[in-house]
Structures are given as C-alpha cells and as structure tokens.
C-alpha cells in the first residue's frame, strides 16, 4: 500500500501518517523530519534546507526528489509506505510517478486532510515537537505525560523554529500556491481521497481506515 498524505501545514499529516504506519506496518517517511534530523546533525543537506525552512519556503525540488526516490526503494518499503510532506510541488509528483513507473509501480492513495486556514495557526502555536524521534504533541490536545519531555524517548520538546505565527502564515501561502494544485493532479489520476481534518484525531483516523480497509 503506497500512500501520500496531502494537506496544509498543520493539517495533521504527521499525526495520521504515524497511525497509518503502525496499523499497516509500513514505514512513515516524512521529508520534514528528514530535514530536521539533518539540521540537528549539522549535515550539508541540513544547512542548505534550514535557510529555506526558517523562512517558510520550500526546499528546492532537487534537494528532495532523489532523497525520496532512493528511500522508497529500500527493502523496508517493499510492502508500501506512507509519504508525509512529499510531494509538495507538481514537479515533485511528476518525478515520483516517473521513478515509480520505471519500477512498474505507482501510488495507490493520495489522502487529503482538509483543514481551513483559520484552524491551522491555533494548532501550530500549541504544537511541541521532539527533534530526536519525530514525535509531536499538542499542549492542549495531546500533552506529553511530563511537560516538555518526549514520552517516547525522554528528550526535550521544542516549538519548531518555523511554527512562529509569521512563518506559519508564509507556509500557508506557499501551500496554496505550490502544493494545493496536487489535489487536482491526484484527482485526475482517480486516487484522491478526502477526509475532514477538523474532527477529533481518532475520528480522522477512522475515516482513513474506512478508505484503506481494515
């Protein structure tokens, strides 16, 4: 099962992708998490990506496409994967499709988690992220057991650099301009599925399970 998560920043792609990965035992591949891990380790890729991410801009396609195309060909992806945050532009989607077509393969579902802009800014200011293991929390909706500490790995939780309100607004603009066109792109391929992302997290997940099957 090869799944793409679509949706605005903060729509809940990561939250749902983690649950999908657990239920269907497939890897969760988040390009945002990969970049944040690289920033933390101080790699060349991380340094390049950070200058874009901190401004709420997309990292250039050439820095992300090969990375994902290589990742989805690793052994653990043989039974599928859930891509979170990729593709984010039409050229990225076309590159992925072309790479998969060469392997006689294709994406099965593009799940769009729909949340209006008004809800997004509120969610982001409450989000806390673990930069070590990628877990996310929300100070109201999913608080960690101990304030400021990751339940999973015990490391410190932070407000992401790009979750400041001004940067969130920029990310939303970039989303509408560059990423939203993917909804039509996947609709045209008859694999688009829409879910209402304003519901409770477990209701969003139930809707996704109805699409993917038990």
Which residues sit at the interface with ligand AP5, rule CB under 6 A?
7, 9-15, 31-32, 35, 52-53, 56-59, 64, 85-86, 88, 92, 123, 126-127, 136, 138, 141-142, 162, 171, 197, 200-201, 204
CB of 7 to ligand AP5, least distance (A): 5
**26 versus 68: smaller Cβ distance to ligand AP5:** 68
Of 15-23, 75-83, 100-108, 128-136: span binding Zn ion (CB under 5 A): 128-136
DSSP classification of residue 59 = P
Which of 36, 50, 123, 171 is catalytic? The answer is 171
Mask: binding to Mg ion, 9-38, rule CB under 5 A, as x and -? -----x------------------------
Strands of the sheet containing 28-30, edge to edge, are 28-30, 81-84, 2-6, 109-114, 192-196
Among 2, 58, 40, which residue's Cα sits nearest to residue 179?
58
Contact 69, 99 (CB under 8 A): yes
The Cα–Cα gap between 137 and 129 comes to: 6
């Amino acid at each position: 099962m090869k799944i793409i998560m679509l949706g605005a920043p903060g729509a809940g792609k990561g939250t749902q992708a983690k649950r999908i990965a657990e239920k269907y035992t497939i890897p969760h591949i988040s390009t945002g998490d990969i970049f944040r891990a690289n920033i933390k380790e101080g790699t060349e890729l991380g340094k390049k990506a950070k200058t874009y991410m901190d401004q709420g801009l997309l990292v250039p396609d050439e820095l992300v496409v090969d990375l994902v195309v290589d990742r989805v060909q690793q052994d653990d992806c043989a039974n599928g994967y859930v891509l979170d945050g990729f593709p984010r532009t039409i050229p990225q989607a076309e590159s992925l499709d072309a790479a998969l077509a060469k392997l006689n393969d294709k994406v099965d579902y593009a799940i769009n988690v729909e949340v209006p802009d008004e809800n997004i800014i509120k969610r982001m200011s409450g989000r806390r992220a673990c930069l070590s293991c990628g877990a996310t929390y929300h100070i109201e909706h999913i608080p960690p057991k101990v304030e400021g500490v990751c339940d999973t790995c015990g490391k410190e939780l932070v407000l992401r650099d790009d979750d400041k309100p001004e940067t969130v607004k920029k990310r939303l603009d970039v989303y509408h301009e560059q990423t939203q066109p993917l909804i039509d792109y996947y609709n045209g391929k008859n694999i688009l599925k829409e879910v209402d992302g304003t519901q409770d997290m477990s209701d969003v997940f139930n809707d996704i399970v109805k699409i993917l099957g038990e």
